[in-house]
Chain A
């Protein structure tokens, strides 16, 4: 992306005596994964354009511990959680937005019991809020008439009962939302959760992401929208497996909004 983006860290803000409206928790995928970094930059560009005063932890951010916890390494999770909570509390962070449903779930649900109480939002919830406040304006334009299907991330959907925020965003794009036969509470996992992202799958007769990609291909979408960097990877791989990467694009909702943003 060629656009210049403006990002301040909490440390820089504190040094200037500033306080951000919200902390953007970037997450490991958003920080290091090449594909996810684009999502991160898209999200930041949205915030930049409408002058949302936000900050990141930058090099002070560390894994929330989610994959360790799902894999059963509660020690490592709590070590990560407590050191992150120390950092977050030292900056007096109150409100967090993140583009990763796994970070979202962990920060929102599992940190309070360890002393970290924050208002935590997934970026689709945050963007929905900005749109309904009138701060963020979008116009469908380039998405008009495009068939978009949304793949529910397990950790946003079933895990936290958020099915509407992503769909609200898609509704704003004047696109045609086509639901897969398994969606919302019945949405099939992409195969990456529970630390599966970091290991080979057990022996079986199919990869989960292939099964899920078939669901998506069935509704003949132009775009598969995701709200999770890991789902994004899995769906991208799945679409490539069917050699459909020319006709079907996988975008995070932040990228779609960035494209449609008019202010």
Chain B
């Protein structure tokens, strides 16, 4: 076996293994969350996934970004068919194996399609870079985007530009090699490039041919460098996903599938609270009865969430899925009027805290708890209390993520575990408790409007 093939198999194996390990850890972290039933109504879930995730229906609400995103997304998915060929070529030391399977003309047709898509992806990424860094669209310049999140976005876009450029350059050099006579190739030891190529090159890469040298030795080096850069770049990118917002290319699909199908206005009725309230309303309960034997294994459930472990697995999955586009934040009424709240920051904080806790668990065991919490250490009460629960964020999210449910669960903790609601809200609670209305009006006066 050629040294190239061996190296390729080692790289492929190592990248796959590392990626598997990262994904397993992310899965473990997500499952630190509480249980939540989200497997009902699978037909509607599939339909939603087809429409929203595969069909990008919510992306195009903003037409420019939506259109460009569809180019990159479509291009990415389709061009990746070629990865299959690259892998086969890499493992077996072959050259453009598909061309011998489907014939040169059909092969040229497919590669032409890939190249056009690659060019569109490349252009879209350039526009995306300009939107972020030159046009400076406001939602990419919020406080939570400083530092790593901004670099992360730029790195992804630059990587895609480089990968597409390598892909096109490789094709251009390769076409020149393939157009060279079989004898010349054989004398240079490049027999496998002789694939009975006839006619023109590929649509897009032909444009680059003028930039390339004519010497087949140099062309071979260029072709090989681009080929290796392309595939190693993809393998590196695969592993980069695990530490990047770009993980959405995988998690967007399950995140949409398991998304909330109920009316957005419906907040869940906490079971733990329901059990207690039902007891209070049950006339057959003996208030003086001895409490039931405590179950030694039962974990006491806090009301609401103080840390990531108190959130559901879906909320945690959402946090890994968020790609920080900021549509939620740009639609948020609190954020637009200068309040601290940013729904995107809620998602980012949840993921950052979960990653931190995950790393701590790796070192100290699954039950280990550090002394930090999502609330206070990451998200301040001031942010939480600015939310109007208007659902603009969940409506805006292109993949149905739900920052609002996290905000509400954190509020629940502040109110029910810490009695730390703002004083005015405590007054409102007291009024409801005493007079059945959020204001200080007597319940007996409730029908007075009839005679006024």
Contacts and interface: CB of A to CB of B under 8 A. Distances in A.
Given A76-B429, A199-B425, A161 B263 contact: yes
Contacts of B447: 7, 9, 31, 56, 58-59
B416 A202 contact: no
A158 B265 CA distance: 8
Interface stretch (A61-69, A88-96, A249-257): A61-69
A153 B424 CA distance: 23
Nearest to B428: A198
A107 B436 CA distance: 16
Interface string A55-88: 0101101110101111111111011111100100
Contacts of B438: 28, 63, 67, 197-198
Contact of A80 (B265, B341, B394, B432): B432
Given A70-B389, A105-B266, A194-B389, A202 B273 contact: no
Contacts of A191: 333, 337, 388
Interface residues of B, number: 68
Interface in B431-446: 432-433, 436-439, 441, 443-446
Nearest to B391: A158
Interface string A18-62: 000000001010111000010011001000000000001011011
A59 B443 contact: yes
Nearest to B387: A194
A54 B59 CA distance: 45
B302 interface: no
Contacts of B276: 75
B338 A67 contact: no
A160 interface: yes
Given A161-B263, A193-B388, A201-B339, A82 B277 contact: yes
Nearest to A38: B449
A7 B273 contact: no
Nearest to B415: A72
A154 B390 contact: yes
Query: Chain A CB within 10 Å — which of B269, B432, B439 has the most?
Result: B432
A32 B437 contact: yes
A24 to B, nearest CB: 11
Interface string B393-432: 0110000000000001011111110000110110111001
Task: Name B's interface SS.
Answer: helix
Nearest to A8: B450
B334 A202 contact: yes
B264 A37 contact: no
A240 to B, nearest CB: 18
Given A28-B438, A199-B385, A72 B414 contact: yes
Interface string B261-293: 011111101100110111011000000000000
A155 interface: yes
A41 B413 CA distance: 39
Interface in A205-230: 205-208, 210-212
Interface stretch (A125-133, A135-143, A182-190): A182-190
B40 interface: no
A32 B439 contact: yes
12 contacts: A30-B449, A63-B432, A68-B429, A72-B408, A78-B274, A186-B331, A186-B392, A189-B388, A194-B388, A194-B390, A198-B424, A205-B338
